[in-house]
Copies of this chain bind each other. A is one copy, B any other.
Amino acid sequence: MKTDFHFSKDIEMAFKNDPPGQWLSTLPPGCLRLSSGYPAPALVPSEKIKLAVARLLDEERDLPLHYLGSPRVPQLKEFLRQRMAQRGVAASDSELIVTSGACQAIDLIARVILDDEAVVAVESPTYMEALEIFQNYTEHYLAIPIDENGLQTELLADMLADRKEKGQPLPRLLYTIPTYQNPTGTTLSPERRKHVLALAEQYDFLILEDDAYGELGFYDSPSLLKALDTNNRVMYVGSLSKVVAPGMRIGWVVADSRIIDPLNWFKKDLSHPFDQATMASFLETTDFDEHLKFLTNAYESKCATMLSALEEFLPPAVSWFVPKGGYFVWVKIPGVDTSKLLPEALAAGVSFVPGKYFFLNQQDGLEYLRLSFSYANEEEIVKGVELLGQVAGVNIPAAEDKE
């Protein structure tokens, strides 16, 4: 981006990157959406939210439409605080801030913690919007590969030891999605959870635990990093986007109050009382555990359907991780550049997100793609995977020969 305006010197670096949202495709009409990381239409409680707004405005009239004054705004915060306590994280009022979704939470943390000298450690692959955010602040990264048990902490330990020995700067922050990761669907093992916390203490870095999918486990979920954190090194980011509705923009951070204070300081969209009070009103009449059970049952079934369809329709050379929760299946198609496959897939009527967008070094992700079982219904999932299999089958180089 070149202009004759006087831009901030801090953002000239950011402008070196591609504009955000490159990973978003324009979908043709009727396209089967295996790209969308959204809740399924049938799982979004639009009718209950309509009733929640009506009750809210009948009871409070103008209050939730002002800057301040709705009793349901602190009530939402209290709900989140109690939910965190149930999950093993005791947070005082000054240790929790409600944000406009998880992305704003990540951005605020980045703004407070990072500058152009900071090194950030990230999983490889990781959430593409988090990469977009961090790249507004710094050019310095450590990329730690993921396997079926999540972030490979042994590799991280080696990298840190190597950097320390060479006198290279150590990371100030590790960004991780330990549970039902985006995009891989993997979950960090309990042993590795302890290991990464020990490394944070040993090498003096903070951990941003992005838990957007953590309540969407098909079985028992492992303890949160924040619940295991005895040294206040973890900044926990939660979201109601995947378990209620993304359009309500409700996220939150739990961290040391010395971190929360400056987040408040730099959060200049102010509080969103209408969204927050509406969400509190919805939660008042919702058995949240029952609601989660309803969601996880539905997503588990959709996931199983997708995995069966992958077995049935994809050539044998194609592989994937089996998720235990969340929204995503991470697929590898050897020898195929999935970003070149995408136009064919869209023309055939199915969408996915090419793997390269989830990597700092996009070349590392060419053979991968992210499928989401969250949005499409089961019939659409089967049909979509069948179409993907057809498009992939004719593109895999000498796939049969390799068997």
Interface residue ranges, A against B (CB under 8 Å)? 1, 3, 5-11, 14-15, 19-20, 38-39, 41, 44, 46-47, 49-50, 53-54, 57-58, 61-62, 64-67, 70, 99-101, 103-104, 106-107, 111-115, 117-118, 133, 136-137, 172, 206, 241, 245-249, 256, 258-259, 261-262, 264-266, 268-270, 272-275, 277-278
Contact = CB atoms under 8 A, between A and B. Distances in A.
Contacts of A64: 247
A340 to B, nearest CB: 25
A54 B61 contact: no
A333 to B, nearest CB: 27
B249 A274 contact: yes
Closest 8 CB pairs of A and B: A100-B269, A107-B268, A65-B245, A44-B62, A104-B269, A65-B247, A247-B273, A50-B57
B104 A259 contact: no
B265 A19 contact: yes
A95 to B, nearest CB: 14
Contacts of A65: 44, 46, 49, 245-248
A135 B61 CA distance: 36
A57 B66 contact: no
Which among A103, A136, A268, A273 has the highest number of chain B CB atoms within 10 Å? Answer: A268
A149 to B, nearest CB: 29
A268 B15 CA distance: 15
B50 A268 contact: no
Contacts of A246: 65-67
A11 B38 CA distance: 35
A1 B272 contact: no
Contacts of A41: 61-62
A272 B100 contact: yes
B62 A1 contact: no
